[in-house]
Amino acid sequence: MPDRIDYDIMVRMLSAVVRRIREAKDTLSTLDAATGDGDHGTAMCKIAYAIAQHLDGNSNDDLQSLLSTIGWSIMGTDSGSAGPLYGSWFLGLSESCANSDDFDTTGFAVMIEHSLSNLRNYTNAQPGGKTMIDALCPAIDAVRKAADEQKSLEDTLISAANAAENGAQQTKNMQASFGRAKNIGERSIGHVDPGAASMSIIFSGLKEGFIDG
Amino acid sequence: MTMKKFINDPDNLTTELLEGYCAAFPDRVKLVSEKIVLRAEPKDNSKVALVTLGGAGHEPALSGFVGPGMLDASVVGDIFAAPGPPKVIEALRLHHRDVGVLFVVLNHAGDILSAKAAMQMAEKEGLNVRMLITHEDIAPGADAPAEDRRGLVGCLPLYKVAGAAAEAGKTLDEVYDIANRFNENMATLAVALKPATHPQSGQEIFTLADDEMEIGMGQHGEAGTGHSKMLSADETAEKMFTQLLAAVNAGSDDQILVILNGAGATTQMELFIVFRKLKQLAVEKRINIVHAKVGEYLTVQEMAGFQMFVAKLDDELLQMLKAPSKAPYWVVT
C-alpha cells in the first residue's frame, strides 16, 4: 500500500465515504429525530450523491478541482445546515492542494486543518457544543499528532477514524450549546449528535477507502 | 389536544400558502420555482434589487412585503426553516444587474448558513451582491454581540427604507448605508403568552404556565430571558418600551417609529390597549412617535403575544418610510 494520497486514492477514499453514508441513512435520521427534525440521513444522502457524481473517471482533473467541485456541489444541495457546512468543509480541504497532487501524512494534516479553518466561516461551534466539531476536532488532533510522530498514513487514518468515533460518542453526554438542538437544552443529553455521527462516518469511510481500496 | 388547523397535506403547506397568496394579489406578486415570490412587474434593471429569505409559517411575512417600493423577491423555505442555498442563489441570479443586489437576512442559524453559502456562490459567479444581517432583538441585552441577537419584525421596516432608497435610484453602497443606519438604530422585544402549534408536527413549540408570560422569546419559541407572572397591558408596555427606548438611545425631541406586531392569537384590542400606554409614555418623555403600525405582520401561527419594535429616525429615514409602496401588506399611497 502506498504511503501517500493522490487523485486516484482520494477517489477510492471518497467512494467509501459515499458507501458508508448511504448505509447509515436510517441511523442518522433516527439520531436526528431525537434532537432535531429527523432528516439528517436524507440530507447526508443528498451530500453523498453530490460527492458520487464527481468520482467516475475524468482523472485528468487534479485533486484540488476534484475537492472544490465536490464542495461547490454540496453547497448547492438542499440539505438544511448540512449542505453549507460540509460544502465549506470540502472547499477547505481543496485549499491546501494548490501546489500539490500527492500527500503524505504531513500534507494530509495540513489539508485537514484547512478544512476546519474554512468551516469557521460558517460556524463558531466549539468542542463540547454537541456538533460535528466534536468529531472533527479530535480527528484533526489525532492526524496532527500522527504527522508529528511521522506515522504511516494508514495508522494516521485509523487514529483519525477512532478519534472521530470517540468524539461522536462523547456528544451523548453533552448538552447542546450550538445549532438547532440548542433550543431543547437539557433534553439534548442522552443522544449522540447526528452531525458528529455523520462526520465520524466520513472519517471512517476515508480510512476504509484507503486501506481496503 | 389534537391540532385544529385548516390545512391539507402537512408536507405541502408552504407551496399551497404561496400559491394562495400569489393568487390573491395577481397584479402585484407571482410565484416562480415553487418557493420564490417575485413582483408581478419586475423593477427596472437600472435600480438596485432587494432580495430576502426566510422560513414560512410567519404570514404575511416575509413575502407579503414584495412589491413596488419594497422587496423584489422573497425566497421561502419550509415551515420555520430556511430555504436551501440552491433557491437562494437562483433568486440572486434572477436579479443580477450591474447596479447590484441588496440581500437582507434575518439572524437565525439556518438563514445565515444558507445565505453565506449563496453569497460564496454569488461571489464565485461574479454577481454584485451585498448582504445585510438584521439582529435587532435586545432580549440577550442591547450590548450582546450581534451574532447572539435574532432578527425579528425589524426586517420589515428595513425593507421599506431600503426599498425606497433603491426606487430613488441610489447606488448599492448608498442603499446599503441607509439600510444599515436604520439597522443600527432599531430594537425589538417579544413577549409570549401562549404557544403555537407547529403545523407539521402538531406539537406545541414551547410551554408556558397558565399564569405566566415570557419576555424575550424568539420567533420559533426559542427561550427568552424573562419568565414572569402575568402583568397587565400597561405594566408590560412600560417594561418593554423602557428597555427599547434605552436600546436605541431615544430621548427628548427624538422621532421614533413604533411597530406593535401581533404574534397571531393576540387581539387587535389588546395591541391597541398596549399602544395607548406607549403613546402616553412617549408624550411624558417628549419623544415623538412620528410613524406607527399596529397589527399582524410577522406572525408565529396562533402564538399569543406580540413583538414591540422601536427605531430612532432621522429625516431621511422618515422620508423613506413615507415613500410610496404597493407591497400587499404595506401600502403607502
Segments making up each domain of chain A, as ranges: 5-212
Asked if residue B274 and residue B169 are part of one domain, the reply reads no
**CA–CA gap between residue A87 and residue A60 (Å, rounded):** 23
**CA–CA gap between residue B30 and residue B23 (Å, rounded):** 8
Point out the residue among A77, A179, A185 whose CB comes nearest to the CB of B109.
Answer: A179
Number of Cβ within a 10 Å radius of residue A212:
8
Distance from CA of B289 to the nearest CA of A (A): 36
Banded pLDDT at A96 (limits 50, 70, 90): confident
Residue B298: CATH number of its domain? 3.30.1180.20
Asked if residue B174 and residue B61 are part of one domain, the reply reads yes
With contact defined as beta carbons under 8 Å apart, do B151 and B159 qualify?
no
B177 inside domain: yes
pLDDT at position B217: 75
Among A69, A78, A184, most B C-beta atoms within 10 A, so best to mutate, is A78
pLDDT at position A182: 64
B226 inside domain: yes
Residue B78: CATH number of its domain? 3.40.50.10440
Amino acid of residue A148? D
pLDDT at position B223: 64
pLDDT at position A150: 94
pLDDT at position A34: 83
B225 inside domain: yes
Among B88, B113, B205, B219, most A C-beta atoms within 10 A, so best to mutate, is B113
> pLDDT, tens digit, for every residue of B163-181?
999 999 999 999 999 999 9
Banded pLDDT at A180 (limits 50, 70, 90): low
Distance from CA of B167 to the nearest CA of A (A): 31
Banded pLDDT at A78 (limits 50, 70, 90): confident
| Three-state DSSP state, B106 | strand
Q: Show the low-confidence residues of chain B (pLDDT under 50).
A: none
Which grid cell is A84? Answer: 453549507
- According to the CATH classification, is domain A5-212 in 1.10.579.10? no
Mean pLDDT throughout A32-39? 81
Q: Is B198 a catalytic residue?
A: no
Contacts of residue A32 in chain B, CB cutoff 8 Å? none
* H/E stretch holding B186: strand B186-194
CB-based contact (8 Å) between B235 and chain A?
no
| Three-state DSSP state, B74 | strand
| DSSP letter, residue B37 | E
Cβ of A75 within 8 Å of Cβ of B121? The answer is yes
B6 inside domain: no
Phi, psi of B29 (to 5 degrees): -135, 155
Asked if residue B155 and residue B78 are part of one domain, the reply reads yes
Whole domain around residue B202: which residue ranges?
186-314
B3 inside domain: no
pLDDT at position A164: 98
In this prediction the ipTM stands at: 0.78
pLDDT at position A129: 92
Cβ of B113 within 8 Å of Cβ of A85? The answer is yes
B1 inside domain: no
> pLDDT, tens digit, for every residue of B12-29?
999 999 999 999 999 999
With contact defined as beta carbons under 8 Å apart, do B100 and B176 qualify?
no
Q: Is B58 a catalytic residue?
A: yes
Selected catalytic residue, list B95, B108, B198, B220: B220
Give the helix ranges, DSSP H, for A36-186: 40-52, 63-75, 82-95, 105-119, 133-148, 153-170
The DSSP-derived string for B219-239 is: TTS---SEEEE---HHHHHHH
Distance from CA of A125 to the nearest CA of B (A): 11
Asked if residue B241 and residue B122 are part of one domain, the reply reads no
With contact defined as beta carbons under 8 Å apart, do A201 and A154 qualify?
no
B77 inside domain: yes
Asked if residue B23 and residue B54 are part of one domain, the reply reads yes
**CA–CA gap between residue A102 and residue A110 (Å, rounded):** 13
> pLDDT, tens digit, for every residue of A119-158?
998 988 999 999 999 999 999 999 999 999 999 999 999 9
pLDDT at position A179: 66
Q: Is the pLDDT of residue A201 over 90?
A: yes
Mean pLDDT throughout A21-27? 95
> pLDDT, tens digit, for every residue of B55-88?
999 999 999 999 999 999 999 999 988 999 999 9
* H/E stretch holding B149: none
pLDDT at position A99: 74
Give how many domains chain B has, as a whole number.
Answer: 2
Higher pLDDT pick, A104 / A176:
A104
Cβ of A83 within 8 Å of Cβ of B85? The answer is yes
> pLDDT, tens digit, for every residue of B29-45?
999 999 999 999 999 99
Residues 6+ positions from B145 with CB-CB distance below 8 Å: none
Distance from CA of B84 to the nearest CA of A (A): 5
Would you tell me the crossing angle of helices A40-52 and A194-212 to the nearest 10 degrees? Answer: 30
